[in-house]
């Protein structure tokens, strides 16, 4: 994924130089994106999602063909090997587990979420209380510079997200949400206030001193569509405890 992103950005840099004489503002206007986002992409401050970058590639004569992946797959253990701590236990039963796709990296501050690209798979025990009866699950890694959800989540942690659970009736649930500017993924707590003809959506962090709340309008910023702002609810997390 990293090599692919670098290759795509090199194509865009060359296009800015050759077609627009290095003028990023003219390029952004021609491609229908904000100049601020294009500057961040070119500097490497932010990696664009494939959905954001595809129209640019089409204008450059390139195209993307992405396979569709379903979240949550059944597991089949073939000659399962047990770790030493469980060497005398019976082999695991495949029906007790499901595989959740690790779809990419998300920021606990600004980040990105290439949902089209599956990096790996995580085994999930179906009978864990937080997971029971859930099927549409994806695993998402917290980005290396994402610290706004500390101490609850830290860079390198992996969260399990239920894409079927977008219930925001109770404020404070931790959700995988989207930035209205570029569609990048973030882990935030969410509060929604009904304003009759609109909804005020607030993303806020556990590390609130360094990360003030982000306030949006459902109508103005997300076109009235909750699916454009909330991907799903965080129901479980894996944390690297070696340095804690």
Give the residue-averaged pLDDT of 85-105.
81
pLDDT confidence bin for 62, thresholds 50/70/90: low
The whole-angstrom separation of Cα 185 and Cα 227 is 12
- Residue 35: its pLDDT value, please? 81
Question: Could you tell me the residue range of the domain that residue 20 belongs to?
Answer: 2-59
Largest CA-CA distance found in the chain, in angstroms, rounded? 68
Is 46 within the bounds of a domain? yes
Looking at the structure, do residues 217 and 103 belong to the same domain, yes or no? yes
Let me know whether 34 and 102 are in one domain: no
**Is there a single domain that holds both residue 49 and residue 114?**
no
Check residue 49 and give its pLDDT.
67
Residues of the chain with pLDDT > 90, as a percent, come to 36
Task: Say which CATH number the domain at 109 has.
Answer: 2.10.109.10
Is 243 a member of any domain?
no
Give yes or no: residues 129 and 213 share one domain.
yes
- Residue 129: the pLDDT is 93
Residue 149: its pLDDT value, please?
Answer: 93
Q: What is the mean pLDDT of residues 18-22?
A: 85
Determine the pLDDT at residue 66. 44
Give a yes or no: residue 81 inside a domain.
no
Q: Could you tell me if 233 and 116 lie in one domain?
A: yes
**pLDDT value, residue 17:** 87
Asked if 19 and 130 sit in the same domain, the reply is no
| Residue 82 pLDDT exceeds 60 | yes
Residue 70: inside a domain: no
| Count of the separate structural domains present in the chain | 2
Strand segments, DSSP code E, in the chain are: 73-74, 97-106, 120-125, 137-142, 158-162, 173-178, 185-194, 199-204, 214-217, 230-238
Evaluate whether residue 80 is within a structural domain: no
Half-sphere exposure of 237 (CA within 13 A, CB side): 19
Is 44 a domain residue?
yes
Q: 117 and 44, same structural domain? A: no
Residue in the structure block whose two tokens are 């009978």: 127
User: 134 with 221, same domain?
Assistant: yes
Residues 140 and 188 in one domain: yes
- Residues 36 and 140 placed together within one structural domain of the fold: no
Same domain, 233 and 142: yes
Average confidence score pLDDT of the chain: 82
pLDDT in tens, 23-57: 888 888 888 888 888 888 888 777 776 667 767 77
pLDDT of the residue at 203: 97
175-217 pLDDT, tens digit each: 999 989 888 889 999 999 999 899 999 999 999 999 999 999 9
The Cα 115–Cα 140 span in angstroms is 9
Determine the pLDDT at residue 1.
45
User: Each residue of 116-142: pLDDT tens digit?
Assistant: 567 788 899 999 999 998 988 999 989
Of 110 and 145, the one with more pLDDT: 145
The C-alpha atoms of residue 109 and residue 148 are separated, in whole angstroms, by 6
- Percent of the chain having pLDDT more than 70? 82
Residue 127 is assigned to a structural domain of this protein: yes
Residue 6: pLDDT over 80: no
């Amino acid at each position: 994924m990293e090599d692919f992103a670098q290759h795509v950005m090199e194509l865009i840099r060359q296009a800015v130089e050759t077609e627009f004489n290095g003028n990023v503002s003219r390029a952004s206007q021609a491609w229908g994106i904000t100049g601020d986002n294009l500057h961040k992409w070119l500097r490497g401050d932010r990696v664009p999602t494939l959905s954001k970058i595809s129209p640019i590639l089409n204008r450059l004569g390139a195209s993307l063909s992405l396979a569709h992946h379903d979240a949550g797959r059944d597991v089949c253990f073939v000659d399962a090997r047990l770790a030493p701590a469980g060497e005398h236990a019976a082999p695991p039963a495949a029906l007790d587990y499901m595989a959740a796709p690790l779809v990419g990296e998300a920021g606990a501050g600004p980040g990105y979420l290439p949902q089209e690209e599956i990096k790996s798979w995580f085994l999930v025990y179906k009978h864990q209380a937080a997971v029971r009866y859930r099927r549409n699950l994806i695993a998402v890694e917290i980005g290396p510079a994402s610290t706004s959800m500390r101490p609850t989540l830290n860079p390198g942690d992996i969260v399990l997200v239920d894409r079927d659970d977008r219930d925001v009736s109770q404020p404070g649930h931790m959700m995988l949400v989207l930035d209205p500017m570029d569609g990048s993924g973030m882990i935030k707590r969410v509060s929604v206030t009904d304003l009759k003809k609109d909804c005020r959506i607030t993303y806020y962090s556990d590390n609130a001193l360094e990360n003030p709340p982000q306030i949006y309008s459902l109508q103005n910023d997300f076109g009235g569509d909750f699916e454009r702002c909330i991907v799903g609810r965080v129901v479980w997390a894996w944390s690297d405890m070696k340095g804690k």
